[in-house]
Structure 1
Amino acid sequence: MFPRWFGPLAAVVLTAATLAGCSDTLEQFAGPTMGSTYSIKYVRSSQAPTVGEVRAAVDDILSTLDRQVSTYRSDSDLQRFNALPAGQCLAMPPSVVQLTAFGQSLAQRSAGAFDLTLEPLLNLWGFGPQSRGQQVPDAAAIAGVLQQIGLQHVRIEGEQLCKDIDLQLEFNSIAAGYAVDQVSAYLRSQGIHNYLVEITGELQARGHKPDGSSWRIGVEAPREDRQVAQQVLNIDGWSVSTSGDYRNYYEENGVRLSHTLDPRTGHPVSHALAAVTVLHESALQADGLSTLLMVLGPEQGLAYAEKEQLAALFVSRVKGEFVSQASSVFTQRFATEEN
């Protein structure tokens, strides 16, 4: 998994049209968050709050979440938990407990292919906030760090989180999706049911634009040189997340080493999967599942998507070219759309 706080994997390219002559108003605003940016587009009727009120509320949601789950500020609730010694418990806000529980669920459902305690491993391979340069660690170092990770060592006791070993939690693979869900829920609570919310590349869309047309996004092809929309989708009622290995990696002796690490082995993934896009009603689910499928790879990932009835699009490197393969649910829902 990878630290989203370092910046977004911009795997979806928003497409928007200029709208005019409609009774309802298309409002939009953007700002910084989570080391990257967010953008909100929504249709405001005369009964809805002003754009200033909506923006203030969204900024408050995001700043509160940052205070709770950021690993880049020492005063966050999550960092207070991370500073605890082994065998201790600490009361946490609901966001931290909910994200931990979701991570544990994904870990159990994937036999450990998903993990929220990988920061020491990311640092070891040169992808974490405390890394000392990008270099391949030896087997002994990897084995040692593997003793410091594992969600099975974290317990939820009511409002408290407890740790059995001196581990570090990080939510960089799911926090943005959680934030999208929180902002979207706020918009709906204000009577706003036509919107497109994007936070560090994770997004959710519902309803339609003022002219009645659908929100459309372009799923980005996994290219390192430029952004190219591989497929354009209508996403009313869907959240979208893409994970990939094409923006954060290094090479050692001709071997590509991705920032996506497999917690079961302690090594970067070595399969041919370049990117995977997941569509789900929940942005949190889409965010976590795209990371999980990226770890599993094209064969295991597709099998998992079929078993769990997920809408997922896999893009793999095959003999120097990109080859796409979609799950049955994705094909049924999106394959017939015109791009």
Structure 2
Amino acid sequence: MAGAVLRGDEDLLTGRWGGLVVLAVVVSGCGNGDSMESFGGPTMGSSYSIKYVHRAGLPAPAEVQAQVETILDRIDRQMSTYRSDSDIERFNHLPADHCQDMPAPVLELVRVGQQLSQQSEGAYDLTVEPLLNLWGFGPQSRQEVVPSAEALTQVRQRVGYRHLRIEGEQLCKDAAVEVDFNSIAAGYAVDTIAARLEAMGIHDYLAEATGELKAAGRKLDGSPWRIALEEPRDDRQVAEKIIAVDHYAVSTSGDYRHYFQQDGRRYSHTFDARTGAPVSHALAAVTVIHPSALMADGLSTLLLILGPERGWDYAEKYAIGAFFVIRTDTGFVTRTNQAFERLSGAATQKKQ
């Protein structure tokens, strides 16, 4: 994940597959004492970045950063699959038929994941970590390789959202499943940070973590926060649309860069839990705009799993604003639904 890179008067923040670029003109200050503040750093194996308009009476920038990093540290301790002492990893190491007390945010994310699993008929699933490890994409993986049919059959016995249940403040399992929050944790983090900024009186901001974005209000010069949606190309950046965002989150999921090839076939890191294998359809990336960064994060992954036809139908059924990038023999084509156009509104424009 690329961090913030200054280029002229634009601060560029790239999304998970390089599909989002935040066009934020950096202005040092105004005559009334307001200023644009920014900070960031490493988080969740990637990076985070916060930009906001500092006005008189607001907490000092150092205090704002300290509160944001406290949130990120707490989420890491609760949900990271890359540290053995996190709440979710301690649960993942439990055998079948065991329960563990969990903090409320973990249970909240499990409930969201269960909802998305049910609505996608099991295609989206929080328990795919054993599959990710088997194919070489997970935190415990050794190498990227197509597994044997026998190994795949064995691992699939440890995958399935129906093996999870919540009992009071405990998370329980009836099979040796492992939970992976990578498809929703960053979105949850952005929502939590945004809520904290609002509570501190900061109402003009852009919050980003590992490519998940949420913006509210205006920049220092009064212009909106603008995000460019890019065509996935290695040679150069090609902006398909530029949207202005206010009190909405934007999430892009794609398989364009994280994949491997074996025997002439391409295998992406996006899995359909029902088959236990990477998806093989032509949908390269999906961008979702939603009031909740948590939901935008999860829904962009869900739509990518479902593919160009079923994903489109799902977005239409639930009125999800979605921007699809579809791979063809001659390049990429894009498709945008009415919900996306409505949510981005008149601020959406085609870049010439």
Within a 5 Å distance, the mapping from 1:126-141 to structure 2 comes to 126-141=136-151
The one-letter code matched in structure 1 to 2:21 is: V
SS in 1 for 2:150: helix
Q: Is the CA contact 1:233–1:334 (under 8 Å) kept in the aligned structure 2?
A: yes
Residue 22 of structure 1 deviates from its aligned partner by 5.1
Q: Percent identity?
A: 56
Unaligned residue ranges in structure 1 (runs of 5+): 1-6
CA contact (8 A) 2:289 2:343 kept: no
Aligned residues of 1:312 and 1:329 also touching (Cα < 8 A): yes
Query: Is 1:115 aligned with 2:125?
Result: yes
> 1:21 aligned to 30, 33, 49, which one?
30
Counterparts of 1:296 and 1:75 in 2: how far apart (Å)?
33
Deviations 1:177-202 (A, max 9, x none): 00000000000001111110010100
User: What is the Cα deviation at residue 254 of structure 1?
Assistant: 1.7
The 1:22/1:232 distance shift into structure 2, 3 A limit, reads farther
Secondary structure at 2:133 match in 1:
helix
1: CA distance between counterparts of 2:260 and 2:19? 19
CA contact (8 A) 2:213 2:249 kept: yes
Distance 2:325 2:133 in 1: 27
Query: Is the 1:8–1:36 contact (alpha carbons within 8 Å) kept by the matching residues of 2?
Result: no
- Work out whether 1:53 is the aligned partner of 2:55: no
Displacement of 1:135 in angstroms is 1.6
Answering whether residue 19 of structure 2 is matched by residue 11 of structure 1, we say yes
Number of the residue aligned with 1:313:
323
Say whether the 8 Å CA contact 1:22–1:210 is kept in structure 2: no
Give the TM-score normalised by the residue count of structure 1. Answer: 0.95
CA distance in structure 2 between the aligned counterparts of 1:321 and 1:248, rounded to whole angstroms: 18
1:263-302 mapped onto 2 (5 Å cutoff): 263-302=273-312
* Cα 1:318/1:10, change in 2 over 3 Å: closer
- Partners of 2:87 and 2:44 in 1: CA distance: 15
- What per-residue deviation string (whole Å, max 9, x for no partner) do you get for residues 39-63 of structure 1? 0011121111010000000010001
Q: Does 1:41 align with 2:51?
A: yes
How many pairs were matched up? 333
Q: What letter is aligned with 2:265? A: V
Q: Match for 2:338: what amino acid?
A: S
Counterparts of 1:245 and 1:278 in 2: how far apart (Å)?
A: 15
Query: Which residue identity is paired with 1:313?
Result: F
| Cα distance in 2 for residues equivalent to 1:73 and 1:123 | 15
Task: Indicate if the aligned counterparts of 2:22 and 2:226 stay in contact, CA closer than 8 A.
Answer: yes
Q: Does 2:57 align with 1:63?
A: no
Structure 2 contact 17–255 (Cα < 8 Å) conserved: no
Q: 1:248–1:258: 8 Å Cα contact kept in structure 2?
A: yes
For 1:241 and 1:87, how far apart are their aligned partners in 2?
A: 35
Matched, 1:103 2:113: yes
Over residues 58-92 of structure 1, what are the superposed CA-to-partner deviations in whole Å (9 max), with x where a residue is unaligned? 01000111011111111111111112121111110
Deviation at residue 123 of structure 1 after TM alignment? 1.4
Q: Which amino acid aligns with 1:161?
A: L
Could you tell me which runs of 5 or more consecutive residues in structure 2 were left unpaired when the two chains were aligned: 1-14
Q: Decide whether aligned partners of structure 1 residues 225 and 328 sit closer, same or farther in structure 2, where only a CA change above 3 A counts.
A: same
Q: Which residue identity is paired with 2:163?
A: H
Deviations, residues 103-158 of structure 1 (Å, cap 9, x unaligned): 00100111001101111111111111222322212222222211111111011111
SS at structure 2 position matched to 1:16: strand
| 8 A contact 2:18–2:232 mirrored in 1 | no
RMSD between aligned alpha carbons? 1.5
Compare relative contact order (CA 8 Å, sep 6+) and give the higher one, 1 or 2.
Answer: 1
Q: Pairwise mapping of residues 1-339 of structure 1 onto structure 2 (< 5 A)? A: 8-19=16-27, 20-21=29-30, 23=32, 24-334=34-344, 337-338=348-349, 339=351
Give, in angstroms, the shift of residue 224 of structure 1.
Answer: 3.2
Q: Which amino acid aligns with 2:73?
A: S
Secondary structure of the 2:312 match is helix
The Cα of 1:226 is off from its aligned counterpart by: 4.2
CA 1:69/1:333 → structure 2, altered by over 3 Å: closer, same or farther?
closer
